[in-house]
Amino acid sequence: MIDIKLLRENPDLVKENIKKKFQDNKLSLVDEVLDLDIKNRQAKLNGDELRAKRKNLSNEIGSLMREGKKDEAQNIKLEVQKINQQLEENEALENKYSEEINTKMMKIPNIMHKSVPIGEDDSKNVEIKKYGEQVVPDYEIPFHGEILENLGGLDLDSARRVAGNGFYYLIGDIARLHSAVLTYARDFMINKGFTYCIPPYMIRSDVVTGVMSFEEMDAMMYKIEGEDLYLIGTSEHSMIGKFKDQILKKENLPYTMTSYSPCFRKEKGAHGIEERGIYRIHQFEKQEMIVVCEPEDSWNWYDKMWSYTVELFKSMDVPVRTLECCSGDLADLKAKSCDIEAWSPRQQKYFEVGSCSNLTDAQSRRLSIRVKGEKQNYLPHTLNNTVVAPPRMLIAIIENNYQADGSIKIPEVLRPYMGGLEKITKQK
């Protein structure tokens, strides 16, 4: 959510930002907020005047009572009662205007960084750089679901009977590889100086609306029936929510945390062969990183964070590339974002395995996170980045390490987490 002062002082800038995101249907929100803001400030002014008048009359009542002029004092008491009624009505009006302003402001996208490329959708995202050699072997690489099933490591049929489409059983060494990736990623981030945390897997609605837009909430989140709780779609949400309504000490910044969690997403619109298997699913596990920092440090952290993910993938011999997300592919709270994509030798193209975002002060404002300053409190910046999401990471590992005999070579950095195992082969 942007600062309403920015909207008051430079509404054209806000409208231009909306246009660059190809959300012209939201342009009217700017004028609606400005109109409500004028009414709200007038209501607050009326309230201040009524309270001042009531105070003066109350003082006058005291003087009249001391002088024994009870009848005159009684008449003024009646006037005070009328003012109290007016104040009650006025405060209801203030609350109404404030709620309407807040609802509309939550729909207005964050101001994008000037470097964000302009484009309607993810087809206009811009490649930044490739890392690692794109190897395509001279033998066929089957679909990842087929590879995993042949190795006895994946059971989709049983999962469908138990939970429906979008779920899976990982079994044996494949399940072990899945856990190995998570454990290695955890240690990798701890060695980068991040504090490890396991957060709540459910969050309340006021946290959900604090960390994402209404559109994302509807498309992603599973609601717990009969309770004000949602299953998290990423641990970033509960990690940032940890700081809700807090005044942070300047000397404690930055907060750098890495978290493990299962994640749950509706994943609307999944279709096609690449959406089967374990690529687009309702349940997965992930290692995430978040930073809460000084505003002037956030862009340095942004570059550090995505580079950590690139470094992690390179250490597992998985070629990757980074993509700059264009304006139309940028979620409303994000000021800038880049995707990390892994090389698929089977498809001979890259596919998304993670995303790094700087949300500047949008989440802090929504969640009332403040830093205690010398003169006044101010908003910190928040950032998040995927360290690794193993189901997709498994696809990258098995395709880039698939051998002609159908086995999977385990990357060296993961072998200590696999009891020294070097290969995954079909079990008899």
Residue 87 corresponds to which tokens in the numbers above? 């104040």
pLDDT for the residue numbered 61: 82
- Could you tell me which of 357, 378, 139 has the C-alpha nearest to residue 247? 378
pLDDT at site 421 = 97
Confidence check: pLDDT of 412 > 60: yes
- Rounded to two decimals, the pTM is 0.90
CATH 1.10.287.40 range(s) for the chain read 4-105
Could you tell me if residue 166 is left (phi over 0), alpha (psi between -120 and 50 degrees) or otherwise beta? left
Residue 202 has pLDDT above 60, yes or no: yes
Q: Is the pLDDT of residue 352 over 70?
A: yes
Q: Please determine, for residue 399, whether its predicted confidence score (pLDDT) is greater than 70.
A: yes
CATH tag, 122-424 = 3.30.930.10
Residue 188: per-residue pLDDT: 98
What pLDDT score was predicted for residue 268?
55
State percent of the chain over pLDDT 70: 98
Cβ atoms < 10 Å from Cβ of 346: 19
**pLDDT of amino acid 231:** 96
Residue 108, exposed/middle/buried by CB under 10 A (0-12, 13-18, 19+)? buried
Q: What is the mean pLDDT of residues 13-35?
A: 97
pLDDT band at 9 (very low <50, low <70, confident <90, very high): very high
Task: Report the length, in residues, of the chain.
Answer: 428
319 touches 132 (CB < 8 A): yes
pLDDT, mean of residues 103-126:
96
pLDDT confidence of residue 275:
54
Task: Tell me the sheet residues that pair with 337.
Answer: 357
The CATH number for 4-105, chosen from 3.40.50.720, 1.10.287.40, 3.40.50.2300, 3.30.930.10, is: 1.10.287.40
The pLDDT confidence band at residue 273, using thresholds 50, 70 and 90, is: very low
Please say if the pLDDT value at position 276 is more than 80: no
- What is the C-alpha separation between 113 and 297, in angstroms, rounded? 15
Q: Is the pLDDT of residue 144 over 90?
A: yes
Residues of the chain with CATH 3.30.930.10: 122-424
Residue 312 has pLDDT above 90, yes or no: yes
DSSP state of 276: S
Are 412 and 180 in contact, with CB atoms under 8 Å apart?
no
